Amino acid sequence: MRGGVQYWQGEKMALNKPRYTLFKNTRYALNGLIEVTKNEKSFRLQLLLFVAGMAIACSLPIDFISKAILSVSLFIPLIAEIINSAIERTVDLVTFDHHELAKRAKDAGAALVFLSLAMLAVIWGVTLYAAFYL
């Protein structure tokens, strides 16, 4: 603290938070994506699903709107997996010991990923049915 102002890594802080700019926020987001990709096997598996799904969606003989729905829906499991990873890291930061609340938090994150995959399957099923049979 200098002159009544708090500093963090050389930056002024307001309410314990460093200043953010569009460029810094983008850098933090990209660092997060890189970190999750490097350290989470399940995220890499979701990325593989994403790439394969995009290739399939783009190659199907369906209208643009259906392709867009299929393509955008592929982001749902990726987002869920990032949230799950954040939950797991936060729990691990608090305790490495077995604790019932820690288990519940991690199970809830896993349920999020499971439901996101179920939602993806429903979206693809309904969209493909509408594109080919209606």
Give the closest residue to 75 by CA, choosing from 50, 39, 45: 50
- Under 8 Å between Cβ of 44 and 78: no
- Asked whether the CA dihedral 53, 119, 25, 87 is positive or negative, the reply is negative
* Catalytic-labelled residue, pool 35, 40, 81, 100: 81
Active site residue 81: yes
Query: Which residues, at least 6 apart from 23, have a Cβ–Cβ distance to it below 8 Å?
Result: none
Q: Which residues are catalytic?
A: 81
